[in-house]
Amino acid sequence: MKKIAYFIATIYMLVNITACVDLDTAPYSEATGNNMWSTESLVEMGVTGVYNSVKKPIYSTSMVGAGLWVGYYGLDVLGMSGSSRLGMNSLFTSNVNPGNSYFSNMWKWCYDGVHRANAAIVNIPLASMDEGKKAKRVAEMKILRAFFYGRLNEVFGNTGLGVPLYLKPVAATEAYLSQSPESEVWKQIIADLTDAINEPNLPNKDTAKEGRVSKGVAYALRGRAYLITKEYDKAAADYTKVGECGYKLFTDAGAQSYKMLFKQANEQCDEMIFSIQYIEEPTKAYGSTLQKYVAAFQQGSLDSRGCWTDIRIAPAVVELYESVDPVTGAVSDFKWSNYLPEWDNLSVEDRKVFFLRDKMLNGTVINSAVTNVVDGSVGLGSVSSAAKALYLQEGNEGRIKKAYANRDPRLTFNVVTPYSEFRGVNSNSTAEGTYVYRFPVVNKAYFDQSTSDGKYRDGYTPSGSANAEKELVYIHRKFVGEGLEFAYRESNPIDEPIIRYADVLLQWAEALVEKNDLAGAKAKVKMVRDRAGINTPDAPFTNQTTARNYVRDERRREFVGEGINFFDEMRWRTLKETKFDRKQVEQVYGGKVSTGGTYEWIGDHWYTWPVPKTEIEMNPNLTKTPGWIYE
């Protein structure tokens, strides 16, 4: 049972009954009142409020077509592995400035969690309840405080600047601290996590499956702190301890283990060290919103159909999934020219020709509407005469499908690629069926509709599409429900992992690379790749530089859609090369997405997000982030 999620779902009713403070809206000063923490039941409510603050870390300003806080999947848009069809409030353009809402909302999210945790840490010891349970809850709150400060320090505090370090409750009108140096913040994070590790009442694992943090979480977070502060021996030692706490890779489903890891049946397996627990219910408050905002248009749930595909997977990460020799199993870097010899000689727009759908099937024209859309302005009408000559009326689909066959199996599990199948719903969400993701489509039809691109004849699978049907983009498959798997399109039950054991193994590999233990690093990477069913090559681990880059690419492949990549690229200082050098929000073939905008690198100060302008205006003791212009 997802106990934390269910408790959150009832907390508001209990708050009203006991005439206490609404934890989602109360100022920090109110959360410190004696009555709030006087009894065990109130302590449990307060603790649950801190856990609740971990959910939905990013506000979707110009990220999805609605204004709301979204889950960790939204963080991928900030990194190299994701993109949005919308403008992202000019976050990636030369117009970005410290007043941007993404900066203020990230700051607000983290400090909301910090202040809630502070109130709990100070007040729980005063409550009338079992001493061992009090100690356990305080340890949990220190882990959560460390989690939030880690996020703040990685994004706002790097390059030595640090962030304000509040360790006890304060009123919003009294929050006037200046930044503590980055090293001091990491020191406090490590101290909090060490206190939790040393607390005998805190279990090694969340064996009750309540969604609570444990010593395993503390070791994983402390290992990351040591990794970032370049104490690699200590990091490796902590990562060892995570396994000793009982966490391991999920392998119970054999070759399908990576795919099945992200299904509801396995969301509380031993790989999931810390995750956000969701439940299905109609208010939309306690489930994941992922399905609506990342899925193909024809996907949905029992209550609704028509998903928005606002958040997509970037072509750059898809191209990192290696090719696999079907006979020997040997892996090699993926290159378009290995499948399409003409690729490198064509313009970006002309490369579209390889992705156009067939006009004929078994020697017969499929449908005049299909012919018209292929020949029209979205299709052949937008490429050169030389490119048109490369189009195959029958076999164009088969040719491009070969570029996605015999690749790292995680590509198929993570991404709906062109001309692959997915399970979707009909026009009123009463039945499910199979779609083929084709381009271009005549319209966004469902399989039960007798329209030109919905249902042609027996033996021809209906066409699926992105919501913006005139764009060819990579669509998320991980976490997305298949057919009628979910009851609610905007309130799915699939938990979101924050830390899983594969993350620990690959950070461990990073630490070993920096220690120049390349054989040890390869062994950790191999564990992750063996589970996925792909060999691990020897060549990248022959020198430190290639090993470092290979481990980073492995993290990019493994964690698509999990909100991890952004923080990786920021700490590696690689986002300029991996995201901004692509220049724009891209379609599969490299063409620009019409509404997504152009990426403009403003300089390395982008790697340290600015203290938000609103915070500078309220707190005169804060130092403005160097490189940013405050107006």
Q: Do residues 384 and 411 share a domain?
A: no
Q: Is the pLDDT of residue 15 over 50?
A: no
Flag whether pLDDT at 364 surpasses 80: yes
Q: Token pair of 281, please?
A: 């219910």
425 forms beta bridges with 432
The distance from CA 414 to its chain's CA centroid, rounded to whole angstroms, is 12
pLDDT band at 455 (very low <50, low <70, confident <90, very high): low
555 with 548: CB under 8 angstroms? no
Can you tell me the distance from the alpha carbon of 106 to that of 57, in angstroms, rounded to the nearest whole number?
Answer: 7
The predicted pLDDT at position 565 comes to 98
Nearest to 278 by CA among 211, 230, 219: 211
For the chain, how many structural domains are there in total?
Answer: 2
Residue 331: its pLDDT value, please?
A: 98
Residues 351 and 386 in one domain: yes
- Residue 64's beta-bridge partner residues? none
Question: pLDDT at position 28, please?
Answer: 40
Claim to verify: residue 412 and residue 397 sit in the same structural domain: no
**Same domain? 372 vs 396:** yes
pLDDT above 70 for 65: yes
Instruction: Judge if 400 and 478 occupy the same domain.
Output: no
476 is a domain residue: yes
What six digits make up the tokens of 299?
């996907």
Q: How far out from the chain centre does Cα 448 lie?
A: 33
Least confident of 14-28, 72-86, 165-179, 358-372: 14-28
Confidence of residue 19 (pLDDT cuts 50, 70, 90): very low
CB atoms within 10 A of CB 623: 11
Does residue 415 sit in the same domain as residue 490? Answer: yes
pLDDT at residue 367 tops 70:
yes
Instruction: Quote the percentage of the chain above a pLDDT of 70.
Output: 94
Does residue 88 register a pLDDT over 50?
yes
Q: Per the domain annotation, does 299 fall within a domain?
A: yes
Separation CA 360–CA 348 (nearest Å): 26
- In degrees and rounded to multiples of 5, residue 422 shows phi and psi of -145, 155
Residues 348 and 418 in one domain: no
What average pLDDT is seen over the chain?
A: 93
User: What would the mean pLDDT of 322-346 be, rounded to a whole number?
Assistant: 98
What string of H, E and C letters represents the secondary structure of 235-282?
HHHHHHHHHHCCCCCCCCCHHHHHHHHCCHHHCCCCCEEEEECCCCCC
Same domain, 364 and 480: no
Cα gap 584→591, rounded to integer Å: 9
* Any domain includes 269: no
CA dist 618 and 250 (Å) reads 48
**What is the predicted pLDDT for the residue at 138?**
98
Distance in angstroms (rounded) separating the CA atoms of residues 1 and 270: 15
Give per-residue pLDDT as tens, 269-311. Answer: 999 999 999 999 998 889 999 999 999 999 999 999 999 999 9
- For residue 440, whether the previous peptide bond is cis, meaning omega lies within 30 degrees of 0, is yes
Rounded to whole angstroms, how far apart are CA atoms 476 and 481?
11
Same domain, 413 and 401: no
- Could you give phi then psi for residue 61, rounded to 5 degrees? -55, 110
Percent over 90 (pLDDT), the chain: 88
| pLDDT at res. 459 | 73
Q: Is the pLDDT of residue 135 over 90?
A: yes
Range in 8-12, 139-143, 507-511 with the lowest mean pLDDT: 8-12
Residues 378 and 413 placed together within one structural domain of the fold: no
* Residue-level pLDDT at 8: 54
Same domain for 421 and 295: yes
450 domain residue, yes or no: no
336: three-class secondary structure by DSSP: helix
pLDDT in tens, 531-575: 999 999 999 999 999 999 999 999 999 999 999 999 999 999 999
Are 551 and 509 in contact by the 8 Å Cβ rule? The answer is yes
Let me know: does 390 contact 382? Beta carbons within 8 Å.
no
pLDDT of residue 14: 38
State both tokens at 71.
């889950």
pTM: 0.95
Average pLDDT for residues 333-338, to the nearest whole number? Answer: 98
390 exposed, middle or buried (CB, 10 Å; 0-12, 13-18, 19+)?
middle
Examine residue 202 and state whether it is found in any structural domain, yes or no. no
Terminus-to-terminus CA distance in the chain, angstroms? 50
49 within some domain = no
What is the predicted pLDDT for the residue at 33? 53
Do 113 and 54 touch, CB atoms closer than 8 A? yes
pLDDT higher than threshold 70 for residue 58? yes
Q: What is the pLDDT of residue 284?
A: 87
- CA proximity to 75, closest of 627, 626, 570, 513: 570
> What's the CA angle centered on 112, arms 197 and 143, to 5 degrees?
5
Examine residue 55 and state whether it is found in any structural domain, yes or no.
no
485 belongs to a structural domain: yes
424 shares its domain with 285? yes
Average the pLDDT over 12-24 and give the result. 34
pLDDT tens string 458-472: 678 999 999 999 999
Q: Whole domain around residue 481: which residue ranges? A: 278-314+407-439+461-494
DSSP readout, 60-77? -TTTSSS-SEE-GGGGGG
Burial class (CB in 10 A: 0-12, 13-18, 19+), 145: buried
Strand 364-365 to 415-416 pairing: unpaired
Spatial CA neighbour of 110 closest among 181, 38, 32, 57: 57
Residue 84 β-bridge partners = 311
